[in-house]
A and B are shown apart, each in its own frame.
Chain A
Amino acid sequence: MPQMIIANRLDDGLTVFLADGRSWVENIDDGVLIEAEADKDRLLSQAKTDEQNCRVIDPYLIDVTSDDGRLRPAVYREEIRAFGPSVRTDLLAAAPGE
């Protein structure tokens, strides 16, 4: 299953995804989808370096699906992290379909 790297940004704590060019983005669609095993280790290692450099906290890999053409974490805990509280859809930063 393809994966992405999720973390919290240090200064504001928001959920972010690793994107191209070593940047961290709030919208899952702007994150980098990782399919090759070798890339997973390499990018996670980069993310850990970003953690040491005080950019993010606790980066890790999550499984992601893209069945409907839209990236979506496979586990609902990570889905809530990606899209915000399910009970406050008015607060969603990057709601599916937006």
Chain B
Amino acid sequence: MYRYDEFDHKLVADRIAQFRRQVALRLSGELNEDQFKPLRLMNGLYLQLHAYMLRVNIPYGTLSSKQVRKFAHIARTYDRNFGHFTTRQNIQYNWVKLEDTADILAELAEVEVTAIQSSGNCVRNITSDQYAGRAKDELADPRLYCELLRQYSVLHPEFSYLPRKFKIAVTGSPNDRAAVAVHDIGLRMHANDAGKVGFEVLVGGGLGRTPYIGHTIRDWVAPEHILSYVEAILRVYNMHGRRDNIHKARIKIIVNQMGIDRYRELVDAEWERIRDGALQIPRAEIDRIEAYFAPPEYETLDDATATLDVLRRSNADFDRWLSGNVAEHKVPGYAIVNLSLKPPGKAPGDITAEQMDAVADLADRYSLGEIRVNHRQNLVFVDVKQSELHELWQALGALELATPNIGALTDMICCPGLDFCALANARSIPVAQDISRHFVDVDRLAAIGNFTINISGCMNACGHHHVGHIGILGVDKRGKEFFQLTLGGSSDENASLGDRLGPALPQADVPAAIESIVEAYLDLRTEGERFLDTYRRVGMAPFKEAVYAVKKAA
């Protein structure tokens, strides 16, 4: 893992001291709310429906057990004993006091975690593939470049007041687990014709009220030039992005109004000017940062296939969990284990202080002390010996973290919605709870197969509803909550935006509508087809018929 050097420590300490003074000025009345709001937002502090909410960054989703224990401590000491993991590899605390905030940030700094730029019109937390550095299918570990981008973008004076927020995601695998196509900048590692690994750069993706899939602005950028290329994109955006209308201020609007070809011309002209300057990353610096992400010293092990097969045959629950929640590791004898934060009836992404402490202990015991967070609001152990999988499964089960639903229908993304969020129009968590209680049969979930449901409580789309195989958007209709369904969205390497199914439904009708869609899919699918594949083959009509014909008949 990356460790702070003296400059990092000083920068963070100075920032906390500055914010402590700003809070004091606010409490004493020398700053009013309009003056204070942009300052608190740049330190991750929102004001939500019930209290202040603090959003803390987890750069590229990588955590140590020590950091997770600190998260538990913060939840227990300053909040109401739980935290919420978000779609951007952040953790949110829902009831922090303004007067405690600087103390919380100081405690987080002890374990090299910050809330700097977790909000505001600046470059946000750099996100990545939760399997980075361990995935069998990746070209290279993208976290080295995530870290370089983090250092480059934190407190960058030119890009601290962008027209609007700016999100960057990076994947080192052709199988995109980081949703890079729906980010302001998405970076995909791939090899050029000469076999050198660099980045395909996507720009102008995003969700919210005007969703777009990102355009490829350049097929391949050499790693040593990635900072200058990102800077060229940011500079053009900073110059041309709209500041007169918040709804038209994101880079996706300007890219799509201007056209990708014109945007590329402007970026290329700027890049030509700066490419070979100070932002060219020296090989020594790449090597220095890369050393932080060197793989741990693995034991020489054989795959434990035979032993696991015996256990699988004798225990159907373990078999289901192994099939659903465990992924291939690039090192023989090891496995990647997903911890589901989506047990039936619970709020997706929520975790108690006790669970966090227990997760930290289990990570130390079974996964070399490292924990990852993914954008689907789950946790991951990336270095588990296959021979210890059965033991770990039992321990996770006792913590309600072993629901075998990763990638299945109940592995839902869900924003906090109107239960917490000041922007929301409708409650999203109760919808997720209803669905998870309806689809509680784990054998049926396995039979349904890969299926994503993403739920947002408003058009700002924090729950990524546009890119769920089924998207659910909460809307307010004359003071009542309704839910608009979309079908066919995806945030993977073949990203697409969902199409609207039909009239919005009341909350009580949503599980039955999902059931009708699932039944139609099971009838229509061919061998090996996911729901998304079937939808792309047959289109909307049979699903629309399934949902609304049932409603008419009722």
Q: CB within 8 Å of B: which residues of A?
A: 8, 10-15, 51-54, 57-58, 75-77, 80-81, 84-88, 91
Q: Give 7 A-B pairs besides A12-B52, A12-B97 with Cβ atoms closer than 8 angstroms.
A: A8-B47, A11-B99, A12-B99, A13-B96, A53-B29, A81-B49, A87-B427
B29 proximity list for chain A (CB < 8 A): 53-54
Minimum distance in angstroms from B270 CB to a CB of chain A: 41
B419 proximity list for chain A (CB < 8 A): 80, 85-88
Minimum distance in angstroms from B477 CB to a CB of chain A: 12
**Alpha-carbon distance A13/B99, docked complex (angstroms):** 10
Check A80/B429 contact, CB under 8 A, given A54-B26, A87-B347. Answer: no
Check A84/B50 contact, CB under 8 A, given A11-B27, A12-B97, A76-B481. Answer: yes
B332 proximity list for chain A (CB < 8 A): none
Closest to B432 in A: A87
Check A8/B51 contact, CB under 8 A, given A54-B27, A58-B33, A85-B420. Answer: yes
- Asked if residues B98 and A11 are in contact (CB atoms below 8 Å), the reply is yes
A15 proximity list for chain B (CB < 8 A): 49-51
B96 proximity list for chain A (CB < 8 A): 13
**Alpha-carbon distance A26/B99, docked complex (angstroms):** 18
Q: CB within 8 Å of A: which residues of B?
A: 26-29, 32-33, 47-52, 80, 95-99, 347, 418-420, 427, 429-430, 433, 479, 481
Minimum distance in angstroms from B93 CB to a CB of chain A: 11
Q: Can you give 30 contacting A-B residue pairs, CB < 8 Å?
A: A10-B26, A10-B98, A11-B97, A12-B51, A12-B98, A12-B99, A13-B48, A13-B50, A13-B52, A13-B95, A13-B98, A14-B50, A14-B51, A14-B95, A15-B49, A15-B50, A51-B33, A52-B32, A53-B29, A54-B28, A76-B479, A76-B481, A77-B49, A80-B427, A84-B50, A85-B419, A85-B420, A87-B427, A87-B430, A91-B80
Check A77/B98 contact, CB under 8 A, given A8-B51, A58-B33. Answer: no
- Asked if residues B479 and A75 are in contact (CB atoms below 8 Å), the reply is yes
Closest to B37 in A: A57
B51 proximity list for chain A (CB < 8 A): 8, 12-15
B95 proximity list for chain A (CB < 8 A): 13-14
Closest to B427 in A: A86
**Alpha-carbon distance A23/B95, docked complex (angstroms):** 22
**Alpha-carbon distance A11/B50, docked complex (angstroms):** 13
B430 proximity list for chain A (CB < 8 A): 86-87
**Alpha-carbon distance A15/B47, docked complex (angstroms):** 11
**Alpha-carbon distance A30/B52, docked complex (angstroms):** 23
Minimum distance in angstroms from B363 CB to a CB of chain A: 27
Closest to B476 in A: A77
- Asked if residues A80 and B98 are in contact (CB atoms below 8 Å), the reply is no
Minimum distance in angstroms from B285 CB to a CB of chain A: 42
- Asked if residues B50 and A85 are in contact (CB atoms below 8 Å), the reply is yes
The 8 A-B pairs at the shortest CB distance, nearest first, are namely: A85-B419, A13-B52, A13-B51, A12-B97, A54-B29, A87-B429, A81-B49, A87-B419
**Alpha-carbon distance A84/B95, docked complex (angstroms):** 11
- Asked if residues A13 and B418 are in contact (CB atoms below 8 Å), the reply is no
B479 proximity list for chain A (CB < 8 A): 75-76
Minimum distance in angstroms from A7 CB to a CB of chain B: 11
Minimum distance in angstroms from A28 CB to a CB of chain B: 13
**Alpha-carbon distance A4/B29, docked complex (angstroms):** 25
B47 proximity list for chain A (CB < 8 A): 8, 13, 57
B49 proximity list for chain A (CB < 8 A): 15, 77, 80-81
A58 proximity list for chain B (CB < 8 A): 33
Minimum distance in angstroms from A25 CB to a CB of chain B: 15
- Asked if residues A77 and B97 are in contact (CB atoms below 8 Å), the reply is no
A12 proximity list for chain B (CB < 8 A): 51-52, 97-99
Closest to A86 in B: B419
B433 proximity list for chain A (CB < 8 A): 87
A85 proximity list for chain B (CB < 8 A): 50, 419-420, 429
- Asked if residues B33 and A57 are in contact (CB atoms below 8 Å), the reply is yes
B80 proximity list for chain A (CB < 8 A): 91
Among B49, B80, B418, B427, the most chain A Cβ lie within 10 Å of the Cβ of B49
Closest to B32 in A: A52
**Alpha-carbon distance A8/B50, docked complex (angstroms):** 8
**Alpha-carbon distance A95/B147, docked complex (angstroms):** 45
**Alpha-carbon distance A57/B80, docked complex (angstroms):** 22
Check A80/B418 contact, CB under 8 A, given A11-B97, A57-B47. Answer: yes
- Asked if residues A13 and B97 are in contact (CB atoms below 8 Å), the reply is yes
B28 proximity list for chain A (CB < 8 A): 54
**Alpha-carbon distance A77/B80, docked complex (angstroms):** 21
Minimum distance in angstroms from B119 CB to a CB of chain A: 15
Check A10/B27 contact, CB under 8 A, given A75-B479, A76-B481, A86-B419. Answer: yes
Minimum distance in angstroms from B211 CB to a CB of chain A: 25
Minimum distance in angstroms from A91 CB to a CB of chain B: 6
- Asked if residues A77 and B27 are in contact (CB atoms below 8 Å), the reply is no
Closest to A77 in B: B418
B32 proximity list for chain A (CB < 8 A): 52
Minimum distance in angstroms from B140 CB to a CB of chain A: 41
**Alpha-carbon distance A13/B80, docked complex (angstroms):** 14
B52 proximity list for chain A (CB < 8 A): 12-13
Minimum distance in angstroms from B170 CB to a CB of chain A: 33
Minimum distance in angstroms from A3 CB to a CB of chain B: 16
Closest to A8 in B: B47
**Alpha-carbon distance A59/B420, docked complex (angstroms):** 18
B347 proximity list for chain A (CB < 8 A): 87-88
Minimum distance in angstroms from B348 CB to a CB of chain A: 11
**Alpha-carbon distance A81/B430, docked complex (angstroms):** 16
**Alpha-carbon distance A14/B100, docked complex (angstroms):** 14
**Alpha-carbon distance A14/B96, docked complex (angstroms):** 9
**Alpha-carbon distance A12/B51, docked complex (angstroms):** 7
Closest to A91 in B: B80
